[in-house]
Amino acid sequence: WIGDASGGFLRLIDQTRLPTECVEIDCLDSAAVWNAIKRLSVRGAPAIGVAAAYGAVIGARARGTDDPKAIRTALKEASAYLRTSRPTAVNLFWALDRMEAAADDPGRAPGSPLLERLLAEAEAIAAEDRAMCRAIGRHGAELLVPGDGVLTHCNAGGLATSDYGTALAVIFSAHEQGKSVHVFADETRPLLQGARLTAWELQNRGVPVTLICDNMAAQVMKERKIQKVVVGADRIAANGDTANKIGTYGVALLARAHGIPFYVAAPSSTFDLSLADGSGIPIEERDPLEITHGFGRRTAPEGVAVYNPAFDVTPAELITGIITERGVVQPVDAETIRSLIGDSNATR
Amino acid sequence: WIGDASGGFLRLIDQTRLPTECVEIDCLDSAAVWNAIKRLSVRGAPAIGVAAAYGAVIGARARGTDDPKAIRTALKEASAYLRTSRPTAVNLFWALDRMEAAADDPGRAPGSPLLERLLAEAEAIAAEDRAMCRAIGRHGAELLVPGDGVLTHCNAGGLATSDYGTALAVIFSAHEQGKSVHVFADETRPLLQGARLTAWELQNRGVPVTLICDNMAAQVMKERKIQKVVVGADRIAANGDTANKIGTYGVALLARAHGIPFYVAAPSSTFDLSLADGSGIPIEERDPLEITHGFGRRTAPEGVAVYNPAFDVTPAELITGIITERGVVQPVDAETIRSLIGDSNATR
């Protein structure tokens, strides 16, 4: 966030251009934030939540007045609009719920103008996100031992959060503690977040990483190069069923077949306790062109039918533990989740 | 093959250019055949065998004389050279063994000049390959029922053989019999043979096909859209362990987890009874650039480590049956294989 509540704006790295180009996008209205989320310029459940919170601040200014009533109306409109950007990651809805609640509650900055209170709430969401990353890193690093090979899928790193990630926080934290770990990064078709973003982040921080295609994970497991799997999450139901990037469910089945522990790393804001299990999680289907023209040129025959679900749901029974900022949910079941996370989604 | 034994040459479709361009390559010397195999202009275990057989004919002419002794020497040199093109598919070695044996055995065309006998042997290998495809199609089609969703991985179609394939022969044959089947084609990273070749072949023959990324197979299985998996093979050990395109082992584990029958379709020439199990099958590792620059532009950070095995081995216990031109090996074990295939590799 650059500037103050009344004139500031949101500056994002355009993740679709990494790692070959590092281009920033300045979002001056809520449509720009909506587009950045929709187009995956900003992605990763926690980062989407933070971006949406700032987007709500920008949207709340849309009527160009200081009148609190007009600001509240504009905020509600912007929030409703931003909610339509992507369906699966619950952090989007969680953050916008918080922003709407903050508009009616002077708690965080009593006496301040409403816009400043809204910006303060968005800043608080971002700050909590940074603290969350560090706490997840600490809890998760305890699960790794020196020499571990760790497989991860998609990108749950610094680019997906306000600090250094969820799944990757576990790895970065272990690395900082001097535990030598070697990461295998699934490239993660169709949009190659693993190749473009995860490999890049790990390389930048000096963590040894080997890039593989998604379909090589089973072979690498068979060769006993993987001791742990750690992935992020986009939405976790009350029983622990976890939506994450397409391919995660397959990785979990392969880990089970090889006797490899499978961990999910996610903040409490990624839990959706309103859903009893994963069957209620909406799964986004994305443009077939991501598969047929994903690299700037056509790689499939014209007119071919394509199925492109962006997420899948891994059932709780395949998950060894869920690493949250409050500790590790283990075993993964409704009772353990309720006792650790139970009150976190109070605004929903 | 265009022309006669002494002046003819091998004409191939360059599969690396499909489906956007259909370009032919004329191989006038054994180096051209070696390159076509190495670069995957021709690929698929049976097609590699056929191409190598014709390459041996071309190589046998290298001394530019009709002297049988010089031809035999040149043949042996060309054969030794062609054997270095790719390590995994056993059909390459099987076909070259046959060509070398034919040079010493006037059986197939007694009295003819040696070069003509060699061409006749290569033509016989190609003709047997065509008959093999049809027989595999017949045997395999009996395993499918109308309405089946069939998942396949990589390309085991017409482009991988002299006729209409092994795994895809099963599907084409069922389709010709009026059994409605719907195919899900894994795109098959890194070289996208599924997207580029399998989807194209199925589309050309009017078989309904949906393209997915490799990491979507588990989700499609979970949605109960897949009733059978059918893949090809590059080498099958005496106990049924099967080397095939990287990712096949993972698909087999996913099929097992979902209770879906997993079939391999391959001719008897793909069996290597000299290997007790799959641990002895050499696995080719290919250029990291296939993963990091697979689409004409860089999709991973510079200098990242890459692991790029081109094949994996699926253990026999995950394979429901192996569809050969002689019938279906089921159960998949050394005894059943010996009784059905036992005498086919006599030249090895």
A126-137 burial, b at 16+ Cβ within 10 Å, e below that, comes to bebbeebbebbb
Q: What is the largest CA-CA distance in chain B?
A: 64
- What's the rounded mean pLDDT across residues B191-206? 97
pLDDT attached to residue A109: 66
Of B319, B46, B248, nearest to B160 (Cα)?
Answer: B46
- Beta-bridge partner residues of A242: A236, A314
User: Which are the contacts of B176, defined by CB distance < 8 A and separation ≥ 6?
Assistant: none
Asked if residues B252 and B242 have their Cβ atoms less than 8 Å apart, the reply is no
The three-state secondary structure class of B186 is: strand
The three-state secondary structure class of B203 is: helix
Phi, psi angle pair for A60, to nearest 5°: -65, -15
User: Which are the contacts of B302, defined by CB distance < 8 A and separation ≥ 6?
Assistant: none
Which DSSP symbol is given to B249? Answer: H
Cα-based distances in Å from A155 to A94, A158, A340: 21, 9, 25
pLDDT attached to residue A343: 63
Cα dihedral sign, A95-A98-A102-A104: positive
Please, which pLDDT band fits residue A9 given cuts at 50, 70 and 90? very high
> Angle CA(A139)–CA(A145)–CA(A149) in degrees, nearest 5?
105
Residue by residue, what is the 3-state secondary structure of chain A? Answer: CECCCCCCEEEEECCCCCCCCCCEEEECCHHHHHHHHHCCCCCCHHHHHHHHHHHHHHHHCCCCCCCHHHHHHHHHHHHHHHCCCCCCCHHHHHHHHHHHHHHCCHHHCCCCCHHHHHHHHHHHHHHHHHHHHHHHHHHHHCCCCCCCEEEECCCCCHHHCCCCCCHHHHHHHHHHCCCCCEEEEECCCCCCHHHHHHHHHHHHCCCCEEEECHHHHHHHHHCCCCCEEEECCCEEECCCCEEEECCHHHHHHHHHHCCCCEEEECCHHHEECCCCCHHHCCCCECCCHHHHCCCCCCCCCCCCEECCECEEEECHHHCCEEEECCEEECCCCHHHHHHHHCCCCCCC
Q: Would you call B309 and A216 a contact, using CB atoms and an 8 Å cutoff?
A: yes
Separation CA A195–CA A214 (nearest Å): 10
pLDDT above 50: residue B348:
no
Please, which pLDDT band fits residue B346 given cuts at 50, 70 and 90? very low
Asked if residues B54 and B122 have their Cβ atoms less than 8 Å apart, the reply is yes
Separation CA A45–CA A90 (nearest Å): 7
- A247 vs B contacts (CB less than 8 Å): 213-216, 218
Which DSSP symbol is given to B166? Answer: S
- What's the rounded mean pLDDT across residues A173-185? 97
How many other C-beta atoms can be found within 10 angstroms of the C-beta atom of residue A326? 15
- What's the rounded mean pLDDT across residues B145-151? 98
B242-280 burial, b at 16+ Cβ within 10 Å, e below that, comes to bbbbbbbbbbbbbbbbbebbbbbbbbbbbbbbebeebee
B234: annotated active-site residue: yes
How many other C-beta atoms can be found within 10 angstroms of the C-beta atom of residue A25? 19
pLDDT > 70 in chain A, percent: 97
- What's the rounded mean pLDDT across residues B238-247? 98
Number of H helices and E strands in chain B, helices first, is: 12, 14
Please, which pLDDT band fits residue B51 given cuts at 50, 70 and 90? very high
Separation CA A143–CA A230 (nearest Å): 10
Q: Which of B148, B214, B234, B312 is catalytic?
A: B234
Asked if residues B267 and B236 have their Cβ atoms less than 8 Å apart, the reply is no
Give the number of beta-carbon pairs within 8 Å between A and B: 192
User: Which are the contacts of A273, defined by CB distance < 8 A and separation ≥ 6?
Assistant: A237, A238, A337, A338, A341, A342, A345, A348
Mean pLDDT of chain B: 95
State how far residue A219 is from chain B, nearest Cα, in angstroms.
6
- B195 vs A contacts (CB less than 8 Å): 291-292, 299-300, 304
Which DSSP symbol is given to B9? Answer: B
Asked if residues A204 and A230 have their Cβ atoms less than 8 Å apart, the reply is no
- A186 vs B contacts (CB less than 8 Å): 215
Return the amino acid letter for A161.
T
The three-state secondary structure class of B158 is: helix
pLDDT above 60: residue A344:
no
- B277 vs A contacts (CB less than 8 Å): none
Asked if residues B318 and B253 have their Cβ atoms less than 8 Å apart, the reply is yes
pLDDT attached to residue A85: 97
User: Which are the contacts of B174, defined by CB distance < 8 A and separation ≥ 6?
Assistant: B140, B141, B144, B148, B181
Separation CA B7–CA B342 (nearest Å): 38
Q: Which residue of B has its CA nearest to A17?
A: B299
Separation CA B32–CA B52 (nearest Å): 11
pLDDT tens digits along A306-339: 999 999 999 999 999 999 999 999 999 999 999 9
Of B197, B195, B149, B186, nearest to B171 (Cα)?
Answer: B149
pLDDT > 70 in chain B, percent: 97
- What's the rounded mean pLDDT across residues B103-116? 82
Structure tokens, A135: 């706490």
Phi, psi angle pair for A273, to nearest 5°: -75, -5
pLDDT tens digits along B292-321: 997 778 999 999 999 999 999 999 999 999
Please, which pLDDT band fits residue A217 given cuts at 50, 70 and 90? very high
Q: Would you call A247 and B216 a contact, using CB atoms and an 8 Å cutoff?
A: yes
Phi, psi angle pair for B18, to nearest 5°: -70, 155
pLDDT above 60: residue A348:
no
pLDDT attached to residue A346: 43
Structure tokens, B257: 């987890």
Q: From the list B203, B250, B308, which residue is nearest A254 (CB)?
A: B250
pLDDT tens digits along B210-237: 999 999 999 999 999 999 999 999 999 9
Of B126, B159, B94, nearest to B347 (Cα)?
Answer: B94
Q: Which residue of B has its CA nearest to A310?
A: B216
- What's the rounded mean pLDDT across residues A278-286? 97
Q: So what's the ipTM on this one?
A: 0.95
Of A219, A181, A251, A209, nearest to B285 (Cα)?
Answer: A219
pLDDT attached to residue B347: 41
pLDDT attached to residue B108: 65
Q: Which of A148, A234, A241, A272 is catalytic?
A: A234
pLDDT tens digits along B264-299: 999 999 999 999 999 999 999 999 999 999 777 899
Which DSSP symbol is given to B273? Answer: T
Separation CA B190–CA A299 (nearest Å): 11
Q: Would you call B292 and A200 a contact, using CB atoms and an 8 Å cutoff?
A: no
CA atoms within 13 Å, Cβ hemisphere of A25 = 21
Mean pLDDT of chain A: 95
pLDDT tens digits along A223-269: 999 999 999 999 999 999 999 999 999 999 999 999 999 999 999 99
pLDDT attached to residue A263: 98
Q: Would you call B305 and A208 a contact, using CB atoms and an 8 Å cutoff?
A: yes
Asked if residues A114 and A152 have their Cβ atoms less than 8 Å apart, the reply is no
Residue-by-residue DSSP string for B16-84 = TSTTT---EEEE-SHHHHHHHHHTTSS-SHHHHHHHHHHHHHHHHTTT-S--HHHHHHHHHHHHHHHTT
Q: Which residue of B has its CA nearest to A294?
A: B295
- B222 vs A contacts (CB less than 8 Å): 249, 312
Test the B interface: residue of A198, A216, A244 with most B CBs within 10 Å: A216
- What's the rounded mean pLDDT across residues A203-223? 98
pLDDT tens digits along A162-175: 999 999 999 999 99
pLDDT attached to residue B326: 97
